[in-house]
Structure 1
Amino acid sequence: MKPMLPMEKYFGKLELVHEFYGAMPTGVSVSETGRIFICFPKWGDDVKFTVAEIVGDTLQPYPSFKANVSNQGNITMSFISVQSVVADGRGTLWVLDTAAPNFSEPIIGGAKLVAVDLKTNTIRRVYTFTEDVVLPTTYLNDVRFDFRVGKAGYAYITDSSSKGPGAIIVLDLGSGNAFRRLNGANSTSPDPYFLPKVEGEILMNRNKDGSTSPFRLASDGIAISPDGKVLFYCPLSSRHLYSISTEALRDRTIPGTDLPYRVEYWGEKGASDGMITGAKGTIYAGDYENNSIRKILPNGIMETIAHDPRILWPDTFSIGPDQYLYVVVNQLHRQVRFHYGKDLRQKPYSLLRMKIDEFPAPTFS
């Protein structure tokens, strides 16, 4: 009998939390009481509800089925196509609605950030955006919070546009005023020299008619330091990690032309979709090219903590009160738009977790 040839080494202890046999999920968030929330943007799958809670082994529309029925007569109080859900650690689930099903232009007035009270399971407040903040090209992607500044805190949102400028959208939760920062800056834009390779193949848009184009998406992954003073972010089409002072982002007396000089470069961390920060200041990020999860310590040292063939596109991360890192794995790169109209995804999609012995970064004092 011939000996087996050497093979690639896989490592990291991953546990299966939930299998998805319906629509493809993107976002996950675990509340301070351990409730798990998931979102399903409308990218072509049969999405029965765009926000859900995992209850036992089932998915239940959240906060209600009615809120998940897109209502043209009341688009501010109904979810259209949700990309991200974030539990803030103090009783609220924040729902980021792109209002852009199938990556269309956002429905005017429909793009919003919604605060849902986790005790009453009702919508408490809705933040909408003006047309100079959510552009026709905007795709609201992910959001982080800090309730230690301003009257009611601030939210920082990535615009991961594929056709227009990337940006960080800054939202004053007290006044509801929002504005774009680092609009079209190099750090929020796709790396023009980036050539993504997933499962050994170059990832690019491959249309049904045979035409092709590069895969280009702007600022996507976002994480905030435990003290709320530093925002980390990365374009989806890039391997680079950047950061900037949140104070500089909020300070509108700093001209947009000067703000890029406040950006710090952290080097290559691999190509990431989602990112999250732990209470010790560790950044956790996916590496979708290498089926891996990486951590970046506050001193910049990077370490791969999981490398597993099941990590087929690590999308969004969340850290639970159980000190587990949760990650949605959704095979995004196998979608129709990358394979000449053929859907190569294999169900189930999965929610995985691994023990990290670190709590989520706090959002309040």
Structure 2
Amino acid sequence: MKQNVMLSALALSVSLISQTGIAATTATPATALPANAPAEKTIGQLEQVFAFHDAMPTGVTVTETGRIFVNFPHWGDDVPFTVGEIRDGKVVAYPGAAINKEDPKDPAKGLISVQSVVADGQGRVWLLDTAAPNFAAPKAGGAKLMAVDLASNKVVKTLVFPANVILPSTYVNDMRFDFRAGKEGTVYVTDSSVSGPGAIIVMDIASGKATRRLSGAKSTSADPDFKPVVEGQAALVTKGQDGKPKTMAVASDGIALSADGKTLYFSALSSRHLFAVPTEMLRDASVSEAQLNAAVKDLGEKGASDGLESDANGAVYAGDYEHNGIRKRLADGSWQTIVHDPRVLWPDTLSVGPDGYLYFIANQLQRQAGFHDGKDLREKPYSLLRVKIDAAPAPTR
């Protein structure tokens, strides 16, 4: 009797499902997503200036006459020369092949591993030598700045960083010049250490004297809670000393000088915040570190950057490597995205040219073998790109 009741109930259920159209059926077959399905929109009209099929570049600068220089640090690629000029459709050693080789007898003479090149707007291009291949401790007396005269293509000045500003963990990264301050001008350099304190190094060009400012400060340090995501995956992941994965923490990296020279903008690579500090206080030895720290302004989030730049109109540009883009901070403090494109794989080093374009390197830094258990995921070529901004470079004098 009980069994008959159960069978009747089951039959009634099947009947109701059939009548309501909820009968169990096979799923509707799926098809591949059409290529023309709605997708995120790109921003900015990109132009490729040069394609690199060999070593990975990190830096670019465009001079006031339109000459383009790039650099290749010794990070594991075959680097025949660490500084080059793009000329006649190829990259040639600059200022020559001989100086692009380390001098074992005198670390101050030959170029060891250049991380940044910057045209100063005064007829010279400056080469920033870390003397620290593969982020090793800098070779004593090797971390330096070289100025090359663009008319003669000769080195006209070499400034070796004094020992008081170069720690065993120091990795000098980027620089900006101001010839309105000091007899021959002042240069500001970021220390983007991956194992020690970050800092802003302030050097007087005439004397070569330098000081470390904001060393180990929150503003120049990697954000301990920063976990970057690029291409949908955790990025900058390396192996710690215990063999467990960890995110590489990179200190103060990008740097930009306001058009009037009164404000220095900077940010750690392992952070999304932009900071600003008065340059007059940076240069003043009587200003204590406590006073300087109190004067630093946190301008909020801008995205994660591996490069900053400024223009003559008071705007600041920042790479946004998590979102394949470039962002622009207007003089009123508001932000806008000027580039967003999946081909902008790790925007590195920005430079405003005299032609109203913003030039930048896209080098796939996050795909390096060190972040993927020894497997190099980079796809050549790397690119030098540009986007029209209709602005002039920030003046240095």
| Aligned counterparts of 1:351 and 1:64: Cα–Cα separation in 2 | 22
Q: How many residues align?
A: 364
- TM-aligned CA deviation for residue 153 of structure 1: 0.6
Q: Does 1:126 align with 2:158?
A: yes
List per-residue Cα deviations over 1:297-353 (Å, max 9, x = no partner): 121100001100110000011111111100000000000111011100000000000
Q: Which amino acid aligns with 2:172?
A: L
Matches within 5 A, 1:322-361: 322-361=355-394
Alignment partner for residue 58 of structure 1, among 90, 95, 99? Answer: 90
Q: Does 1:167 align with 2:175?
A: no
Q: Does 1:228 align with 2:261?
A: yes
**SS where residue 289 of structure 2 aligns?**
coil
Task: Select the structure of larger CA radius of gyration.
Answer: 2
User: Contact between 1:14 and 1:354, CA under 8 Å: does it hold in 2?
Assistant: yes
| Aligned counterparts of 2:163 and 2:237: Cα–Cα separation in 1 | 28
User: In structure 2, what is the equivalent of residue 145 of structure 1?
Assistant: 177
| Aligned counterparts of 1:319 and 1:83: Cα–Cα separation in 2 | 18
User: In structure 2, what is the equivalent of residue 26 of structure 1?
Assistant: 58
| Aligned counterparts of 1:201 and 1:77: Cα–Cα separation in 2 | 42
Q: Does 1:268 align with 2:301?
A: yes
The alpha-carbon distance between structure 1 residues 256 and 210, as it changes in their structure 2 partners (threshold 3 A), is closer
**SS where residue 258 of structure 1 aligns?**
helix
- TM-aligned CA deviation for residue 210 of structure 1: 5.8
Q: Which amino acid aligns with 2:141?
A: G
Q: Which amino acid aligns with 1:90?
A: Q
User: Contact between 1:207 and 1:341, CA under 8 Å: does it hold in 2?
Assistant: no
User: Contact between 2:238 and 2:248, CA under 8 Å: does it hold in 1?
Assistant: no
Q: Does 1:80 align with 2:112?
A: yes
User: In structure 2, what is the equivalent of residue 15 of structure 1?
Assistant: 47
User: Contact between 1:25 and 1:39, CA under 8 Å: does it hold in 2?
Assistant: yes
| Aligned counterparts of 1:283 and 1:331: Cα–Cα separation in 2 | 23
Q: Does 1:256 align with 2:289?
A: yes
**SS where residue 257 of structure 1 aligns?**
helix
Alignment partner for residue 249 of structure 2, among 212, 216, 223? Answer: 216
User: In structure 2, what is the equivalent of residue 307 of structure 1?
Assistant: 340
| Aligned counterparts of 1:177 and 1:302: Cα–Cα separation in 2 | 37
Q: Which amino acid aligns with 1:289?
A: E
| Aligned counterparts of 2:157 and 2:388: Cα–Cα separation in 1 | 34
User: In structure 2, what is the equivalent of residue 177 of structure 1?
Assistant: 209
User: Contact between 1:210 and 1:340, CA under 8 Å: does it hold in 2?
Assistant: no
List per-residue Cα deviations over 1:344-363 (Å, max 9, x = no partner): 00000000001110000000
- TM-aligned CA deviation for residue 247 of structure 1: 0.2
Q: Which amino acid aligns with 1:304?
A: T
Q: Which amino acid aligns with 2:373?
A: Y
| Aligned counterparts of 1:282 and 1:245: Cα–Cα separation in 2 | 16
| Aligned counterparts of 2:38 and 2:65: Cα–Cα separation in 1 | 44
| Aligned counterparts of 2:277 and 2:58: Cα–Cα separation in 1 | 26
| Aligned counterparts of 2:369 and 2:243: Cα–Cα separation in 1 | 12
User: Contact between 2:99 and 2:109, CA under 8 Å: does it hold in 1?
Assistant: yes
**SS where residue 163 of structure 1 aligns?**
coil
Taking structure 1 as the reference length, what is the TM-score of the superposition? 0.98
Matches within 5 A, 1:91-106: 91-106=123-138
**SS where residue 207 of structure 2 aligns?**
coil
| Aligned counterparts of 1:138 and 1:43: Cα–Cα separation in 2 | 16
User: In structure 2, what is the equivalent of residue 291 of structure 1?
Assistant: 324
- TM-aligned CA deviation for residue 60 of structure 1: 0.6
| Aligned counterparts of 2:89 and 2:106: Cα–Cα separation in 1 | 32
Moved more, 5-14 or 194-203: 5-14
User: In structure 2, what is the equivalent of residue 243 of structure 1?
Assistant: 276
User: Contact between 2:273 and 2:302, CA under 8 Å: does it hold in 1?
Assistant: yes
- TM-aligned CA deviation for residue 132 of structure 1: 1.9
User: Contact between 1:207 and 1:339, CA under 8 Å: does it hold in 2?
Assistant: no
Unmatched runs of 5 consecutive residues or more in structure 2: 1-30
Q: Which amino acid aligns with 2:225?
A: Y
List per-residue Cα deviations over 1:240-297 (Å, max 9, x = no partner): 0000000000011011122110101111000000111001011111100000110001
Q: Which amino acid aligns with 1:327?
A: F
Unmatched runs of 5 consecutive residues or more in structure 1: none
User: In structure 1, what is the equivalent of residue 20 of structure 2?
Assistant: none
